Structure 1
Amino acid sequence: MKKMQFLSILVITAFIFGCKEEQKEINGSAVMTQAAEVVVQTREVQDPVQADTIEVGNVTRTEEEWKKILGPEEYHILREAGTEPAFRNAYYDNKKEGIYYCGGCSLPLYSSNTKFDSGTGWPSFYAPIDPKLVERKMDRRYGMERVEVVCAQCDSHLGHIFPYEGVPTEERHCLNSLALDFKQTDI
């Protein structure tokens, strides 16, 4: 039953509704030069569809601006691709239902519907709300070859993606709690 719910959520997560040129200001920074609207499914499939429209744009800030709005630990994770300690972070064991937002720009990225316990000590998800909300980059630091996952809107480092059997997408998005803000919902 739970596996079927995960598959159902994955199938209906989002649709692209179009693009429009627009510019807005958030926290003193211009965003949304080329915005795409994405519908986000935030309820189980048995419930009536209740979706929010998200515009994915481009948040650009100078390093000085980032340092003013982020604390030192958040800056290290989000802007310098740092990693927080396993099992000593806010969301690795969070079992509440809700949405995980980017800590840099507040873009909704992951739902608790795709969160699972990987036993690694970091919050793990098998998929974002919509693939267009995150980007994958090759990370060759520290003599390893890994896939880095970053926010599609502000290019903030979130964590890495690893192969993982036993979940619908067969991948684990291993994220830093300090890269995320969680908001509980009535899913």
Structure 2
Amino acid sequence: MTTEQNTDPAGKVGKVVKSEEEWRKLLKPSEFHVLREAGTERPFTGEYTDTKTQGVYRCRACGTELFRSDEKFESHCGWPSFFAPLAEDRVRYITDTSLGMRRVEVRCATCDSHLGHVFEGEGYPTPTDLRYCINSISLTLEPADQP
């Protein structure tokens, strides 16, 4: 994991670019606050915190596939937790020191929407020793086809 900003050769971040007004029309106010203003939903209130549904989690703003339920685990932190994104090129990382401590913000690489933060070294029994702490409101869940 790198904490550098991912940019294309032209220096642009993401592939979906909309004005603030366009995002406001597309998203509910609570979604806009988290996705576009880097807000955080209250712990234990999100619809995906405890879900066991199998499928793909997508960015609520642009629909990019970000995480799979196979990488989701119970961290009991109040937000959905994943130990890895679907692919590293789906997210970008920004060092965040806004609360007087070092955190790594996770954003959608396609539309630059705020998703949550990633933490390492917390001792969870996962293959990566990472916890992607993601706001439910930043995601939609596409359930896997049931046989």
Taking structure 2 as the reference length, the TM-score comes to: 0.86
Q: CA deviation at 1:186?
A: 3.1
* Equivalent runs, 1:1-187 vs 2, <5 Å: 58-163=15-120, 164-165=122-123, 166-186=125-145
Instruction: Pick the structure with greater CA Rg.
Output: 1
What root-mean-square deviation, in Å, do the aligned CA atoms of Structure 1 and Structure 2 show?
Answer: 1.4
Q: C-alpha separation between the residues in 2 aligned to 1:60 and 1:108?
A: 17
Taking structure 1 as the reference length, the TM-score comes to: 0.68
Alignment gaps of 5+ in structure 2: 1-9
- Identity rate, percent: 48
Relative to total residues, which structure has the larger strand share, 1 or 2? 1
Cα deviations by residue, 1:142-187 (Å, 9 ceiling, x for unpaired):
2221000000000000000011321101100000000001110037
Deviation >3 Å, runs of 4+: none
Higher relative contact order (CA 8 A, sep 6+): 2
Matched residue count: 132
